[in-house]
Structure 1
Amino acid sequence: MQICRSIDSLRDQLADWRQASKTLAFVPTMGNLHAGHLKLIEEAQKTADKVIVSIFVNPTQFGPTEDFSRYPRTEADDIAALKAQNTDLLFLPSTDEIYPAGEQTRITVDRLSALHCGAFRPGHFSGVATIVCKLFNLVQPDLAVFGLKDYQQLAVIRTLVRDLNLAVTLVGVDTVRETSGLAMSSRNRYLTPEEHQIAPKLYDVLCQTRCAIDAGEKNFRSLETQALLKLRSLGFIPDYFNICRSHDLELADFSDKNLVILTAAKLGNTRLIDNIYFASSW
């Protein structure tokens, strides 16, 4: 596996592969890799000649009181995992390499970025859109692979790609879960042993709400309220629990068929997000 820490070295290697007519897949990450990340790489390897992974903890998507400084950074372990996965290239830039002195450009996907997580994390999705656009510009992949655990993030990126006419195909991969049902996340390591026992109940409440919809419950706002009350009773501090249309993430009603339920909640000092998407059975 090649490791590139500079933009120039990255571009030189990618130019050689393009000259050889290799198809390129890209998996952007913030490191602290787990089985969910490795699944993205597996999916990329199915359809591309070369797979590029980036590890960059992006400062512009963290708020001033969020966990940028303590976000897990496990470079040696990540490199070992990527080598074992037969990754072709790791792009491992510094912050100064990505954000040069005096930089002042941000990209914002207006409406989507204000919904759900965006209402609780101002500026977060602008930071996401900016770094993804930068990385797409640097790598210029044929396809890029993202996990569907961050459903709203992928919706923002899809809109970015459409609106800016970017020549990249996006692939979403189903959430990888622990045997308990807890969605795999780098932030799960913040959980205490006791919290780790409670955390899977976030997904349980999502599944219970889906079952109620499939059984014919028509009052989505009531279901949301019930779910919030349930989460609080379990020890979570929920930010939101919203039943949405899957295509634009606006709040859904009973006439909508393709749905996604999005939720975010704090458990102790850890903020967890999860979702479940489905076509209603009525």
Structure 2
Amino acid sequence: MRVCRTRHELAAALDEHPGTRALVMTMGALHDGHAQLLKAGREAADVLVASVYVNPLQFGPNEDFDAYPRPVDADLTLLEREGTDIAFLPTDDQMYPREPLVRIDPGPIATILEGKTRPGHFAGVLQVVHKVFNLVRPDMTFFGQKDAQQLALVRTMVEDLNMGIDVRPVPIKRDDDGLALSSRNSYLSADERSQALAISGALRAGREAADAGATATEVLGTARSAIAEADGVVLDYLVLVNPDTFEELAPGVTGRGLLAAAAWVGTTRLIDNMEVELR
């Protein structure tokens, strides 16, 4: 595996690796969920490129940028284990040699749900995604469905800007008890981790209601009731939305929907989602 820390080193490594190119972008603190992305990229392309970069532009002033875990050696071990050809670990100076003057406007989807709770977050996400796309020039890229709103925005940017990259979703990886894997799970105490199961439990209750023929209103009500009874969980939002536009679904709608939730467990904010089929 070639480890690159500068744009020049990355360009040289890419020249040495011909063929179709898959990109997996991460912020490090890698786990089995990231491994699923890497496996998908390894199977689909000749060259697998992974980036590890904690992007300061997507963190708000009161968020955990300084505390965000950065286990670099462990991350490199996982990348190599999954067959990564090129690992790009840039510094801030490499990614942002000066304050960016040209910015990506993520549009109205970025002002709701995660974007409402974290103003400016998605502008920072798309800024760094666009930059890494330009540096790596991938044929395809893999994003996890856990960050469903991010996935929708990346797809929209690629389509609207005619970037010609195949954006491929990878299903959420969960522990055996149902908790969605996340780098932030490491912040949870044992009791908090147990409490956090209420999030996936509420989504699962909503999906089961949909499978039983419940309306959109009933599905959402079932999920909200389930999480309202949970100890130690402070709900930020729980909504039923269109998976592509993230607009909330009307009461009588049928077809695909996405139950999306964010909640605080102790001092840790977790997100999760689950697809439903409304009949």
Normalising TM by the smaller chain, what interval?
over 0.9
8 Å CA contact retained: 1:23, 1:48: yes
Q: How does 1:106-255 map to 2 (within 5 A)?
A: 106-218=103-215, 220=217, 223-224=219-220, 227-234=223-230, 235-253=232-250, 254-255=252-253
1:60 maps to which residue? 57
Give the deviation of 1:219 after TM superposition.
5.3
1:77 maps to which residue? 74
TM-score w.r.t. length of structure 2: 0.95
2:43 maps to which residue? 46
8 Å CA contact retained: 2:205, 2:222: no
Q: Which moved more, 1:185-194 or 1:245-254?
A: 245-254
Q: Choose which of 257, 260, 273 in structure 2 pairs with 1:259.
A: 257
Q: Residue by residue, what CA displacement relative to the aligned partner does 1:152-194 show, whole Å, maximum 9, x if unpaired? A: 1000000000011002101100000001100000000000110
Q: Residue by residue, what CA displacement relative to the aligned partner does 1:182-232 show, whole Å, maximum 9, x if unpaired? A: 000000000011011111221110010122223233252x65455445424
Alpha-carbon distance in 1 for matches of 2:223, 2:78: 38
Q: Residue by residue, what CA displacement relative to the aligned partner does 1:34-92 show, whole Å, maximum 9, x if unpaired? A: 00101111000111011000000000001000000100100011111112222111000
2:72 is equivalent to residue 97 of structure 1: no
Identical-residue share of aligned pairs (%): 39
> What runs of 5+ residues in structure 1 fail to find an aligned partner?
none
2:24 is equivalent to residue 27 of structure 1: yes
8 Å CA contact retained: 2:202, 2:224: no
| 1:275 partner letter | N
Alpha-carbon distance in 2 for matches of 1:89, 1:80: 13
- SS at 1:196 equivalent: helix
Alpha-carbon distance in 2 for matches of 1:168, 1:124: 23
Q: Which runs of 4+ in 1 moved over 6 A?
A: none
1:4 maps to which residue? 4
- SS at 1:149 equivalent: helix
8 Å CA contact retained: 2:209, 2:222: no
Aligned residues: 277
Alpha-carbon distance in 2 for matches of 1:9, 1:249: 39
| 1:204 partner letter | G
Residues 1:72 and 1:230: Cα distance change in structure 2 (over 3 Å): same
Alpha-carbon distance in 1 for matches of 2:276, 2:198: 19
Q: Which moved more, 1:121-130 or 1:225-234?
A: 225-234
| 1:175 partner letter | I
Alpha-carbon distance in 2 for matches of 1:160, 1:185: 25
Alpha-carbon distance in 1 for matches of 2:222, 2:271: 18
Alpha-carbon distance in 1 for matches of 2:259, 2:225: 16
8 Å CA contact retained: 2:260, 2:272: yes
8 Å CA contact retained: 2:7, 2:94: yes
Q: Which moved more, 1:246-255 or 1:155-164?
A: 246-255
